[in-house]
Amino acid sequence: MIILDAKSIKNTYLASLKGYDGGKKISGIKLHIGVDTLGLPHASLITTANVTDRDGAVEMLKIHASGLPKVLKTLCDGAYTGEDFAIAVEMIIGAEVEIAKRNELHKFAVIPKRWVVERTFGWLENCRRLWKNCERHIDTSLQMTTLVFHPPMKYSIQKNVHVV
């Protein structure tokens, strides 16, 4: 199973490509991500914020289809509804689309399994460089996002070493 979601991120004045997400009222970029049930990313794509969640997810799945051969189901929120999206996912990776919907509007409730992707976005928020998009190019923003999920390198620092 892969869980899909997208997040809009504000741009600073340095960014060369911008889009406007009317739903969130944010001018910037949009991070599309696909995670497993542990919250580890298996697919990611950054677009301008005006790209819809569905279109960004389809493009992301096209790029990462070779790395998702065993995916049988995709879990998405209400932004991914539609028969066209379900057919596109079926054609690209051969997976069924399941939409997790809220029962009551304007009332907070944790949707089972959907919290995993939100936790992944929370992990990204721990990186100061990803709070806002300060990069000039979208590719650099994607690389910074990818670096967050790699384990830190261990350096050995030796102080006051004297060889006799």
Which domains does the chain show, CATH number per domain? 2-148 (3.30.420.10)
pLDDT at 57: 96
Q: Which residues contact 11 (CB under 8 A, 6 or more apart)?
A: 18, 27, 28, 29, 132, 133
pLDDT at 97: 95
User: pLDDT, tens digit, for every residue of 98-149?
Assistant: 998 766 556 666 666 778 888 888 888 887 777 777 777 777 788 778 877 7
Q: Which range in 35-39, 89-93, 157-161 is most confidently predicted, on average pLDDT?
A: 89-93
User: pLDDT, tens digit, for every residue of 42-89?
Assistant: 999 999 999 999 999 999 999 999 999 999 999 998 889 999 999 999
Does the pLDDT of residue 154 top 70, yes or no?
A: no
Tally DSSP H helices, then E strands, for the chain.
4, 6
